[in-house]
Amino acid sequence: MSGLDPSAVVPPIGDWLLHGSVDDPAVLAATDAMPDYAILPWANVVKIGGQSIIDRGRSAVYPLIEEIASNLERHKMILGTGAGTRARHVYSLAMDLGLPTGVLTVLGTAVAWQNAQMLHYLLARYGIPFIEPEGFSVLPHYLMERGAVVCQGMPPYKLWEQNPPVGRIPPHRTDTGCFLIAEVFGARKMIYVKDEDGLYTADPKKDSNARHIPRIALHELLAHDLNDLVVERAVLEMLQHARHIREIQFVNGLRSGQLTAALDGEPVGTIIFRADEEVA
């Protein structure tokens, strides 16, 4: 038996791929030159924080639900949820039991799922569905018809999550999962809704000298090598290699109107951007 005949039906790149190694730098460079089709260029991915928003209950969530509803006519939104305090509890328990990082991801996914379900019920009266990762093929239809969908923010890695270099916490959590949704669909915006006005030089909850950063280049932020960050480090690593997403925005979901302003393209909160020279 042999493989398919590349001369018959395959596009030009096929000669490389059918005969070469996909780890060969020359083959990778050839794929780098291929076009990038934006699948949902008008969609906005909005991540609603777990510990920062949903764990606060209705005082934080109800106003945000109203703000989301008021934007349904104007902006298409993929709403991903964070995990929060129950994930921290189950991570602590599972680590105490000696369970590996992949199992922690399975457990953390369930918490983000719970939060997504609650958000979904609060938005149900507007016809907003909850969709599982396996159901993403219907996502474009709901965005066109209803303006938004709710999904859990964890990437569906399950037991296949990779170990972090240090410690046991899954390195790819809901910030990363939502970022990858934005990137794969070529979305218009990636907005993180948290409980701070964006990025600070230190954790403003713990350090009164922490200063707000309205806009910062990715390479500059990485050069600071901060001890703590507003976003998972994996997001910053992936932003370096992204082909569609050029910036990510962080807004305070406890301040009415910030999400709307971000959706309207205003520079609220903090924007982390890739400077032009970083764009390969």
Partner 1 sequence: MPDESNEARHVPSPLMRESLMDKGVIAGTESPVRAILPHANVIKIGGRSIMDRGREALLPLIDEIVANQSQHTLIIGVGAGVRSRHIFAVGLDLGLPTGVLATLSAKSAAQNAYMVSCLLAQHGFVYLEAPFVVQLLPGMLAAARGAVFNGVPPYDLWEHLPAVGKIPPHRTDAGAYLVAEVFGARKMILLKDVDGVYTADPATTADAQLIPRISAGELAARQLPTLPLDRAVLTILGNARLATEVQVVNGLVPGNLTRALNGEQVGTIVHR
Residues of span 100-129 touching partner 1 by CB under 8 A: 100-103, 106
Instruction: Report the nearest approach of partner 1 to the CB of residue 19 (Å).
Output: 9
Chosen residue from 98, 145, 208, 276 binding partner 1 by CB under 8 A: 98
With contacts defined by CB under 8 A, name the span among 88-96, 115-123, 212-220, 267-275 that binds partner 1.
88-96
The answer to whether 272 touches 216, Cβ cutoff 8 Å, is: yes
19 Cβ partners below 8 Å, 6+ apart?
A: 6
Extract the tokens encoding 35.
């076009």
Instruction: Give the containing element (helix H, strand E) for 68.
Output: helix 58-70
**Site of tokens 């938004």:** 148
Instruction: Report the nearest approach of partner 1 to the CB of residue 72 (Å).
Output: 24
With contacts defined by CB under 8 A, name the span among 117-125, 211-219, 235-243, 259-267 that binds partner 1.
235-243
Q: Is 230 in the site for partner 1 (CB under 8 A)?
A: yes
With contacts defined by CB under 8 A, name the span among 65-73, 212-220, 237-245, 256-264 that binds partner 1.
237-245
Angle at 46 between CA 221 and CA 277, to 5 degrees: 35
Extract the tokens encoding 118.
């609650």
d(CA 212, CA 195): 13
Region 162-201 residues binding partner 1, contact defined as CB under 8 A: 162-169, 173, 177, 180-181, 183-184, 186, 195
Chosen residue from 93, 124, 275, 279 binding partner 1 by CB under 8 A: 93
Region 21-50 residues binding partner 1, contact defined as CB under 8 A: 21-25, 27-32, 34-37, 39
- Cα 45 to Cα 69, 131, 166, 235, 274: the distances in Å are 15, 14, 29, 14, 18
d(CA 72, CA 127): 11
d(CA 152, CA 144): 20
Instruction: Report the nearest approach of partner 1 to the CB of residue 174 (Å).
Output: 10
Is the dihedral angle over the CA atoms 164, 157, 251, 218 positive or is it negative? positive
Instruction: Report the nearest approach of partner 1 to the CB of residue 181 (Å).
Output: 7
Region 206-225 residues binding partner 1, contact defined as CB under 8 A: none
